[in-house]
Chains A and B, each alone.
Chain A
């Protein structure tokens, strides 16, 4: 069984296998159908880089969408 790591996703704890990428994270929370922006530790991770960007223990990830606003 692979080792698990805990990260913060949108302010909440989230556990996933060590070595997971941002793309893996999006797939596991079901947001791959949405147009999202991803930010890891205040650094923007562009769509092209999500598959190669490996998450580490303690990373703070923000997954953002466009919602209604004035």
Chain B
């Protein structure tokens, strides 16, 4: 079985789903089930007395085989991310943490310095750290050396639907990395997820593309199929490109006039 190994965990699904931006919790839960995902992200938020029942912990963990990966969204410094991670672990009981530190809401680009500092501290505390990072091969390697169990470089800006704008950098990260590389952010359509997997990514993390689709559960299923197909193609060995045509049919002449 071609499984994804992260830390001591093994997953058969290579699609990680975000749970934000859905029109309702029930649609989100249907999408999670349809996707077959085993790892979902959640965010910490203040309890609101006017809106009880917003808590996603119980409904998500009631789905068989689901592991939670809380994020540190809202943190703009390493110290804030570390505190968010510790609180999240109390609540989730999960060792996974998506370190996400983006100080500028205009572009939501991850802060590489704060992300590195937070990841280093959290890895030492025993978290399974999965940092959301710019597609920077040097940073990715430094995070691997700091004890992260995966790196999650962006395909393009969060929620932008710009796809694999960082493809060439992603290829370098994949080639150099000894830990799973998960493309996080920017994917718009299942074909982009398939392409990421064909490039050799170990998994993809999708949120907006599913959440804002016309039919989120069906789109979740489409992403799952694309991810599986892309992975299968990568494992099967994709043909090399050639600058010239290479015939698939015999060119020996039998229709010619000479006999």
| B91 and A69 contacting across the interface, CB-CB below 8 Å | no
Decide: A64 near B46, CB < 8 A? Known: A33-B52, A34-B52, A34-B55: yes
Q: Which of A24-52 contact B (CB under 8 A)?
A: 29-31, 33-37, 39, 42, 44, 46
A34, A39, A44, A64 pick with most chain B CB within 10 angstroms: A64
Residues of B within 8 A of A70 (CB): 18-21, 41, 43, 71, 73, 158-159, 185, 205, 207-208
Provide the residues of chain A in CB contact with B158, threshold 8 Å.
Answer: 70
For residue B88, which residues in chain A have a CB less than 8 angstroms away from its CB?
37, 66
Interface size class of A (residues with CB under 8 A): 20 to 34
Whether B91 and A37, one on each chain, are in contact in the complex, defined by CB atoms closer than 8 angstroms, is yes
Name B's interface SS: mixed
B86-101 vs A, Cβ < 8 Å mask (1 yes, 0 no)? 1110111000000000
Inter-chain CA distance A63–B46, complex, in Å, is: 6
Contact of B43 among A29, A37, A39, A67 (CB under 8 A): A67
How far does the Cβ of B21 sit from chain A's closest Cβ, in whole Å?
A: 7
Closest A residue, CB atoms, query B206? A70
Q: Give A contacts to B, CB under 8 Å.
A: 10-11, 29-31, 33-37, 39, 42, 44, 46, 62-70
- 18 other A-B residue contacts (CB within 8 Å) besides A64-B44, A66-B70, A70-B208: A10-B48, A11-B46, A29-B47, A29-B49, A31-B47, A34-B55, A35-B57, A46-B90, A64-B47, A65-B46, A66-B42, A66-B45, A66-B56, A66-B92, A67-B56, A69-B43, A70-B18, A70-B71
What residues make up the interface of B, taking CB atoms closer than 8 Å to A?
Answer: 18-22, 25, 28, 41-49, 52-58, 60, 68, 70-71, 73, 83, 86-88, 90-92, 158-159, 185, 205, 207-208
